[in-house]
Amino acid sequence: MPAEATPIEPHPSLPVRPEAEEDLAAGGPAPLAGVRIIAVEQYGAGPFGTLYLADLGAEIIKIEDPGVGGDVSRYIPPGRVGTDSLFFEAFNRGKRSLALDLKAPAGRAVFERLVATADAVISNLRGDQAERLGLTYEVLGGINPAIVCVALTGYGRSGPDARLPGYDALIQAGSGWASLTGAPDGPPTKSGLSLADYIAGLTAALGLVVALFDARRTGRGRDVDTNLYDSALAMLSYPATWFLSSGFVTERREMSAHPSVVPFQFFVTADGHIAVASPKEKFFRTLVLAMDLPDLAVDPRFADFEARDQYRAELISILSARFAERTTGEWLERLRGRVPVAPVRSMEEALDVTELRERSMLAEYRHPAFGTVRSVGLPLTMGGFEPSYAPGPALGADGEAILRELGYDEAAAAELRADGAFGRATHDSRSLERIEPV
């Protein structure tokens, strides 16, 4: 890593970003059109955060280490062909890939020239790596004073755990999430989804956009740090406030019940399960009347939130017996629109293609290795903007184009290649049978 970076002027052949007025006159740009983000990212957390930025029109250039076969997510089954996988597609659609050895002087030179053209650099690496690889504002600000440098790590960039790898299951275990999930008499349980990864990725994306907004105002960037562990701690929210302020310990309850609002949980029906929420007094009264249990509406044991929590077992026993008498569909017909209810559906039911398309939540595109790829789309609706989706990049697929954009001619590119900037010779990695990541 260089002790300090040399300022590099953007090459004059680089395209000039159009002004907002010109964009609007052309029919309206994507919200983040013209924003260039360099992503030294891998696997889940970082790529999930930059995925949304790509969907919103930012140019995301993935820096992939050629020495380990690029992003390890390229090799995660099922659905893998060579260095493409459906796992990789889920996190990397619409991005660009540059295979670059940041530890080689020639690779570092390309990286620094790219930084001169960029708005932000985001990395998700072990806590000591951002500084070791020179991905901090102290280094990159000398090249581009407006650059935003985001470090997403496992446990932070300092402290005794900085060098520890951070993975979702470890974070859910250590942050207390697992202790809140599952049945009361069962073991601590990880969520079925990598939620710690996802919330940390979104937190990093938020920090990036906020710092970019400030840099556009002031002309000066900054470091932005977040980590999986702190992001997971922040999601403890009201159970954390209860414990830190009053010592109240939230415990797991049957059927995913809320710790204090009753009823607010799943119930067994004659043919499945139904979710019911009563976070307002009016919902409880409406619920019991609609279930033909009018006595419960005037029973002093269930008169308010505190009373229902105190007599939870009695109330849940009565409601459970009644819910078991009818099917989920019958209860939905009776209750939906009157109280908050929903069927407990399988993933397959929730991913109905027609329903996703009607909700504008279907990301669908053609892929050279997989044919039609379908995934869930951007969960944001923005006036005047419709996201468009494109395949994730082949390993190093955009290298030649990016080099031309940076002003390198063929001779200069060949020299960089000979000097090891790109590790092994670049090619269309979709033809590879297998590269084992380290």
Mind listing the pLDDT tens digit for each residue in 384-408? 999 999 999 999 999 999 999 999 9
The pLDDT assigned to 429 comes to 43
Residue 381 predicted with pLDDT over 60: yes
Taking phi first (over 0 means left), then psi (-120 to 50 degrees means alpha), and beta for anything else, what does residue 391 get?
Answer: beta
Which position has the higher pLDDT, 9 or 401? Answer: 401
Residue 122 predicted with pLDDT over 60: yes
Nearest to 148 by CA among 216, 230, 78: 216
Q: How far is CA 132 from the centre of its chain?
A: 25
Residues 6+ apart with CB under 8 A from 318: 293, 296
The pLDDT assigned to 427 comes to 42
| Domain 254-344 in the same topology as domain 20-234+367-431 | no
Residue 82 predicted with pLDDT over 60: yes
What is the average pLDDT score of the chain? 91
The pLDDT assigned to 7 comes to 54
With beta carbons less than 8 A apart as the criterion, state whether 280 and 263 touch: no
Q: What angle do CA 19, 25, 30 make, to 5 degrees?
A: 70
Q: Kindly report, residue by residue over 291-313, the tens digit of the pLDDT.
A: 999 999 999 999 999 999 999 99
Does the annotation count 271 as an active-site position? Answer: no
Structurally, at CATH architecture level, domain 254-344 sits in 2-Layer Sandwich (3.30)
Q: Kindly report, residue by residue over 210-251, the tens digit of the pLDDT.
A: 999 999 999 999 999 999 999 999 999 999 999 999 999 999
Instruction: Choose the weakest-confidence range: 136-145, 246-255, 416-425.
Output: 416-425
Tokens for 313?
């077992």
The pLDDT assigned to 28 comes to 73
Pick the CATH number of 20-234+367-431 from 1.10.1200.10, 2.40.50.140, 3.40.50.300, 3.40.50.10540: 3.40.50.10540
pTM for the whole structure = 0.89
The pLDDT assigned to 91 comes to 98
Q: Which of 65, 71, 84, 197 is catalytic?
A: 197
Element (H, E) at 110: helix 105-115
Residue 12 predicted with pLDDT over 80: no
Element (H, E) at 3: none
Which residues on neighbouring strands pair with residue 64, listed in sequence order? 99
Q: Kindly report, residue by residue over 18-47, the tens digit of the pLDDT.
A: 444 444 444 478 999 999 999 999 999 999
DSSP letter assigned to residue 154: S
Tokens for 406?
């940076």
Q: Kindly report, residue by residue over 352-369, the tens digit of the pLDDT.
A: 999 999 999 999 999 999
The alpha carbon dihedral of 32, 33, 35, 38 has a sign of positive
Does residue 263 have a cis peptide bond before it, meaning omega lies within 30 degrees of 0? Answer: yes
Where do the structural domains in the chain lie, given as residue ranges? 20-234+367-431, 254-344
Instruction: Choose the weakest-confidence range: 14-28, 151-165, 370-384.
Output: 14-28
